[in-house]
Amino acid sequence: MPRQIGQILLNIDNQHLDEAENWIKKAIESDKRNGLMFELGRAYALYTELLKRKKDQSKAKKYFGKTIDILKDCGADG
């Protein structure tokens, strides 16, 4: 659920980016803790989108790479 809340906040407007980031980070930690790798990949993808909106391209590239690696490991490399 934290990823969905983060996504909603991200899509409202740019005034909610900090709050969206907090929820997305909660999702990442929860997915790591619970071993939900596919959901972790989705959370990293959302975090990448947030970083792009914040104009942090270097971090966005880093997390996009993590997203690809995790999703490939899950068999979602299409």
Task: With respect to residue 38, please indicate whether it lies within any of the assigned structural domains.
Answer: yes
Q: What is the mean pLDDT of residues 7-36?
A: 95
Domain that holds residue 17: 2-73
Is 19 domain-assigned? yes
pLDDT bracket for residue 58 (50, 70, 90) = very high
Flag whether pLDDT at 75 surpasses 90: no
| 24-40 tens-digit pLDDT | 999 999 999 999 999 99
Whether residue 63 has pLDDT greater than 90: yes
Instruction: Domain count for the chain, please give it.
Output: 1
Determine, yes or no, domain membership for 78. Answer: no
- Other beta carbons less than 10 A from residue 73's beta carbon: 12
61 within domain boundaries: yes
Nearest to 42 by CA among 68, 19, 9, 62: 68
